[in-house]
Structures are given as C-alpha cells and as structure tokens.
Amino acid sequence: MVKIIVKNISKVFKKGKVIALDNVNITIENGERFGILGPSGAGKTTFMRIIAGLDVPSTGELYFDDKLVASNGKLLVPPEDRKIGMVFQTWALYPNLTAFENIAFPLTNMKMSKEEIRKRVEEVAKILDIHHVLNHLPRELSGGQQQRVALARALVKDPSLLLLDEPFSNLDARMRDSARALVKEVQSRLGVTLLIVSHDPADIFAIADRVGVLVKGKLVQVGKPEEVYDNPVSIQVASLIGEINELEGKVTNEGVVIGSFRFPVSISNDKVLIGIRPEDVKLSKDVIRDDAWTLVGKGRVKVIGYQGGLFRITITPLNSDDEIFTYSDHPIHSGEEVLVYVKKDKIKVFEKN
C-alpha cells in the first residue's frame, strides 16, 4: 500500500499553449480505491502517466508516502522503482508469448529465479482463476481471460499501487460487471492502493471509494461517488457521473418556468439550468398523493423507446419544444397527455454560463 500526495501539479504542452493539468491537488490514502472521471481531453491520461512516472509535472510535486518522486519537471524516482502495476485499455499482451510468459515478463526483467517466477505466477493465476489457460496464447483466450492475464501481470510484482486505465472498455456489456467485481475483490484481498481512470461512471460506482472529476485539466469536485451524483457542482459534472435532464428555465415568483412545467425553486438569477435525474421523474394519469413528489405540470409523450427491460419515455411540456425523459416498467403511447411529477429534494439548479 502507498499514499499518493499530489501538490499543485500542472502539465503543459507545446510551450504552454496546451494545459493538460491545471494546479491539481489530491491525496489518495493507503489502500484506497480512487477513481478519476472525466471526458476525453480532460487530462485523465496525463494524470495517470505522471503517477506512473511515464511523464513529469511541469510544475508541482508528487509524493509516494513521504518520498518526493517527481517535482517541477524532474523525475526523481523512475517508474521501475515505484512499485506500480498497470493495466492498460488495450491490455497490451505480447501476442507471441503464452499467458504464463506474459504474466512472468516483469519478473523475468527483474532477474528472478525460475522457481520464484513460477511460484508467483501460479499464485496470482489461482487468485484470478486463469491457472488452466497459462499455456495458451492471447489469441486463444476470451476477452475476459485476456483482461485477467493483464491484471495478473500487473499484480505479480506485488505492487503498492495498481493503476487501471479504462480497463473495461474492450469488454462487452455482459462481462463488465463481473470484471469490475473481480477487480474490487482482488484489491480488497491484497490491500493495494488502486487508481482507476475512466469516462464511464459505472466503473467508478462499482469500484471507487472516492472520485475526482477532471474537466479541462482542473479537478473540479472530489467526494464519494454517490455524493457527487446527488450534489454535482455543475451540470457538466452531473452529466459525467450519470444521466440527467437539462432544462433552461426562466425564473419567476412562482419558481422556474419551462413551458407548462413549473419547478418550485427559489433563485435570484433571471435564467438558470434545471437538472433532474430520470429516476426522479414520475409520470401519471392520476393525481399522486405523496409529499415526496411534486407536480410540475402537464406534458405530452413525444417518443417511447425500450432498453434494459424498461421503457424510456420522452415528454415535452405542452407549449414548448424542451424535453425530459424518464424510465417506466410500462409503456405510454406517443401523444398522450400525462401529469409530470418530480422529487422535491432532487431538483438541481445550476447557474447558466
């Protein structure tokens, strides 16, 4: 296990014209599972590379425990001395080596004895349930098995820190949940500090204790995934960590008005963005008598889709082209008028930039 301390780290490219990281500060505790979430181009990969020692910060300091490993453009501790295991998006397996040889590769470079290499490879292969495919080449393995081989190669060195760079993006949807569960189980068993970088909030919710959201190189919010989900600092953060309806409304004495919808919130700005998660929207033909839900108005069903065992229903206010969507276990026909309810305490209000 290792504690990672990032102090005022910035990274610029092209003589300062491109800012990849902008004054990032974060502490990742010993044995913690920490996630970095952000869109493409946010600086996630640059952050990962600096932690791994594959790049250096232009300014700022990076500590592993109390040891300074990189500072102000200087690499003080090289990657091979940082006790890091890394799993890449592509898994980066050598196609001409067997699973055993792929896993053993870093140990071979460390000049370990053949007996010790075999012992370590077999131990980690047993943990990951791939001992029966050790003699197979990567092309003979399923996607899930290839990923386990990549994870085994990262763990066989007994690292203090495990870095995962978009590790599940090459798996089909059926396999991702089991792969996430495996990673969390192995991390808990070994106690290694874990840093996962992803654009997929499902990865973060499944694995991370805390998440940091990177936007344009800035770490804009840090917290438990569920806290960031419920209380995002901006509409962009809200949309990065989960589905959300985004509506631009006009502020009146009666609340925020969007067509025939009225959201009962108070704010001083003339125009704001209303955010409401789809699970916090309910459609009904009858009045709902439940204090947790508030009626915002009548709407008309625009379109209905189907995914994941639920109907995705898009509604518009009666006199507006704005849209709001939710999920339902039963269909509602296009063109029908419905009463639209939202959870009072789940309405999110953001300033319009």
What is the rounded end-to-end Cα distance, in angstroms, of the chain? Answer: 42
pLDDT tens profile 67-123: 999 999 999 999 999 999 998 888 789 999 999 999 999 998 888 899 999 999 999
187-238 pLDDT, tens digit per residue, is 998 899 999 999 999 999 999 999 999 999 999 999 999 999 999 999 999 9
Q: Enumerate the H helices of the chain as residue ranges.
A: 44-52, 99-109, 114-127, 143-155, 173-190, 201-207, 225-230, 235-241
State the average pLDDT for the chain: 93
The topology (CATH level 3) of 243-351 is: OB fold (Dihydrolipoamide Acetyltransferase, E2P) (2.40.50)
Quick one: pLDDT at residue 172? 82
Dihedral in degrees, nearest 10, Cα atoms 212, 214, 218, 223: -20
- Domain extents in the chain: 4-238, 243-351
Class of domain 4-238 as given by CATH: alpha beta
pLDDT, tens digit, 9 for 90 and up, residues 165-184: 988 888 888 788 888 998 99
Lowest mean pLDDT among 86-90, 103-107, 297-301, 303-307: 86-90
pLDDT above 90 coverage of the chain, percent: 80
pLDDT score, position 332: 93
Average confidence (pLDDT) over 298-326: 94
pLDDT value, residue 167: 86
pLDDT at 16: 78
Q: Residue 89: what pLDDT?
A: 80
Which residues touch 315 (CB under 8 Å, ≥6 apart)? 283, 299, 300, 301, 302, 323, 324, 325, 326, 338, 340
pLDDT of residue 59: 97
Q: What pLDDT is stored for residue 22 in this prediction?
A: 97
Query: Does residue 273 register a pLDDT over 90?
Result: yes
Q: CA-to-CA distance for 234 and 239, rounded, in angstroms? A: 9
Residue 254 has pLDDT above 80, yes or no: yes
Beta bridge partners of 276: 245
Is residue 267 very low, low, confident or very high in pLDDT (cuts 50, 70, 90)? confident
pLDDT, tens only, 327-337? 999 999 999 99
Q: Is the pLDDT of residue 270 over 80?
A: no
Q: Is the pLDDT confidence value at 316 over 90? A: yes
**pLDDT at residue number 328:** 94
pLDDT at 173: 80
User: Both tokens of residue 131?
Assistant: 């001992």
User: What was the pLDDT predicted at 207?
Assistant: 96
Residue 253 has pLDDT above 90, yes or no: no
Statement: residue 143 has pLDDT above 90:
no
- Identify the pLDDT of residue 83: 93
Considering only CA atoms, give the Rg of the chain: 24
Q: What single DSSP character describes residue 264?
A: -
What is the structure's pLDDT at 239? 96
